[in-house]
Amino acid sequence: MKNRILFSGLLVLLFSIVACSKDEAAPAASATSEPAPAAVVLSEPETESFTVLVGGTDIGQLDVLHSVDSARIEYEYSNNGRGPSIRESITFAESGLPREWSIVGNMTFGNEVDEQFSLVNGEASWKDATGTGTASPAGSSLYVAQDASPYALWVYARALLADEDHEMPVLPGGTLRLDRIEDFPVQGPSGQLMLTTYALSGIDLNPTYFLLDQNEQFFAVMSPRFAVVREGFEAEDERIRALAEEYAAKRFETIQAKVARNFETPVRVSNVYVFDPSTQSRSGPVSVQVSGERISAVLPLDTPLEEGEVLINGDGGTLLAGMYEMHGHLGQNSALLNIAAGITSVRDMGNNNEVLSGLVEKIQSGRLAGPRIIRSGFIEGKSPFSSNNGELVSSQEEALAAVERYATGEFYQIKIYNSMNPEWVPAMVEAAHASGMKVAGHVPAFSNADAMIAAGYDEMTHINQVMLGWVLEEGEDTRSLLRLTALRRLPALDLDSPRVMKTIDAMAANGVAIDPTLAIHEVLLRSRNGKVSSGVVDYIDNMPAGVQREARKAWAEIASPEDDTAYWQAYDKIVATLRIMHEKGILLLPGTDLGGSFAYHRELELYQDVGMTAPEILAWASFGMADYLGQSDELGSIEEGKLADFLLVPGDPTADLKAIKTISMVMKGGTVYFPSEIYPEFGIEPFTDLPEIVYP
């Protein structure tokens, strides 16, 4: 399934670049004082080619044929058995802005693209996945495409470089800004080139980071894991991805310095009701005192303040232990937003190991804000459909060696993926268990959940991975989009059938948990073009313009009324299956595969449909997951001596779970964060006011 990004599909300026690393978008940085060059003049007809790379692996191509007044673009890649396929045609006006722009093809999860823009006699009109629109712009008529290739960055940069302050309003809405960062040389087939790094920001949560050459032509776009690089310069991939990581770190380091509050004296959060996961109820009002990184006391409300103590007025709100996101693929862009959402611990389910190690070090050192990270060792078999992540293996011996390497590091478990040979799995499970690690994963292609349960899986990853075994025909290949599109078959499935009950009973008997990632299935199956997805209605109006636009786009290809009905009803069947699993005592785990943050709040909310109450969900998401991961001695509840990881909600989430969507304070290890100070850094309108703080 799709991984990371704060909300998958919401990063409009990344153009759905990274299905496996979606929150690794580029950083912001301060512009230099050097004036920007004038607008670029296009060359004579010329073909440019670019290589799409994930972690250094070639996965696709971007080809551009451009002339003085036009560009023709083809963009396609495949990673993890999926990816976009886009064809563009742009005609430029004398101003250098697009006069006509056509984009057709399909996006990563199959949604058809037919986007059109035109500017005629000062009247702009467009059609995209959200619908149609028109405008008579008095000034700039720069259009930001919804589903363009990365080459669109050059289109925007060209216009912004010609603008005096490098900032302008754009269609359909919002304002784009271009910041020049630095110049540096690279070596290529024809010698040295000078490159300039830019950050494009304004309508999304995070800026996009890219490079232009000395002639102001497009050279690359990159994130810590992903890059599109001019052909012949692929050797620069690792270097420029490292630069992207460092620039992003600088952006978030600056934010951290502004929003993180560390007090040398004790902190008292007063007048709060404390949620107790053991009773699933609130007690209070009381005050909670924190000294250093730990809770030093839970005090009666009338206990006098100590000398030098900082007081934060909880104003009768609810204090809950920090929550666990159990299916993350964490990157710098989502780390702070997870903290703001009350997620103080994330189980990472597979990542670029070096990139994640760097992030862990930055968080632990205090350089960046971020959750505590529980690491999974990702192991994938080599195939044309491989997810280029973690460790890729081509034999059982290599697979066992990968398990051994993970056993020597700080890894809680291994995660097995789609292209793994199922015949190797029993030996991998045995080796992992012998090393004290658990085993989770997808069902390898041409196998089923029953075989993985028998092989010793401790946990199944994604509910579709289990249910596909009930609807697929022998020989069907789940390394492709079939593992998603085959969900159209679920409405006809009889959940009382022996085939279904055999799997569920085996999970219950063997104590196999499941990480269903329910929220991503809701988005996949129930998002529709032009309609706001149910999962975002409570917060979408507070988001930047580009995020609001992306929230009105489908993921799957809904090609007919029959598809519409089948996908919609498939989600109902998934919920019914999880209800049965819950009733059978199978442990469900709250994880999103959507980057956490706001999507995590939706994930929790959906489990009310599975049969869980709001208090049960709050206890499960905190102490329940701490206990599952062996961390309940330190985390999961608000008790004297435990680590100070908790969040303050103005309302009562035991009565209305939606209250967790309006968090006024988060503490992680004694460091205090106020979401109302964090969200403006991402262009998000805050949801609460700053609590009253009384200094000694």
Q: Say if residue 221 is exposed, middle or buried (CB neighbours under 10 Å; 0-12, 13-18, 19+).
A: buried
Report the alpha-carbon distance of residue 543 to residue 547 in Å, rounded: 6
Instruction: State how far the alpha carbon of 158 is from the alpha carbons of 36, 216, 217, in Å.
Output: 11, 8, 9
Per-residue pLDDT tens digits for 359-375: 999 999 999 999 999 99
What sign results for the dihedral spanned by CA atoms 551, 553, 558, 561? positive
Per-residue pLDDT tens digits for 622-651: 999 999 999 999 999 999 999 999 999 999
pLDDT value at residue 82: 87
Could you tell me the pLDDT band of residue 44, with boundaries at 50, 70 and 90? low
Closest C-alpha to 246, from 361, 358, 365: 358
Average pLDDT, the chain: 92
pLDDT, mean of residues 459-469: 98
pLDDT, mean of residues 319-331: 97
- Tokens of residue 343, six digits: 């997620």
pLDDT value at residue 357: 95
Per-residue pLDDT tens digits for 186-206: 988 888 899 999 999 999 999
pLDDT value at residue 11: 33
Could you tell me the pLDDT band of residue 31, with boundaries at 50, 70 and 90? very low
User: Omega into 172 within 30° of 0, i.e. cis?
Assistant: yes
Question: Is-contact 389 2, C-beta < 8 A?
Answer: no
pLDDT > 50? residue 410: yes
Taking each continuous run of H as one helix and of E as one strand, the counts in the chain are: 17, 30
Beta-carbon count within 10 A of 540 CB: 18
**pLDDT-wise least confident of 330-334, 422-426, 513-517:** 330-334
pLDDT, mean of residues 548-575: 95
Pairing of strands 208-213, 281-291: unpaired
- Tokens of residue 455, six digits: 């092989």
Within 279-352, residue ranges assigned H as helices are: 332-340
Report the alpha-carbon distance of residue 288 to residue 645 in Å, rounded: 12
pLDDT value at residue 297: 97
What pTM did the predictor assign? 0.91
pLDDT, mean of residues 446-454: 98
pLDDT, mean of residues 68-87: 93
pLDDT value at residue 45: 67
Amino acid in the structure at residue 671: T
Could you tell me the pLDDT band of residue 33, with boundaries at 50, 70 and 90? very low
User: Taking the domains of the chain in order of start, what are their residue ranges?
Assistant: 17-255, 442-589
pLDDT, mean of residues 535-549: 95
* % pLDDT > 70, the chain: 94
pLDDT, mean of residues 257-277: 96
pLDDT > 80? residue 6: no
- For the chain, how big is the Rg over CA atoms in Å? 25
Question: Is-contact 239 204, C-beta < 8 A?
Answer: no
What sign results for the dihedral spanned by CA atoms 593, 594, 595, 598? negative
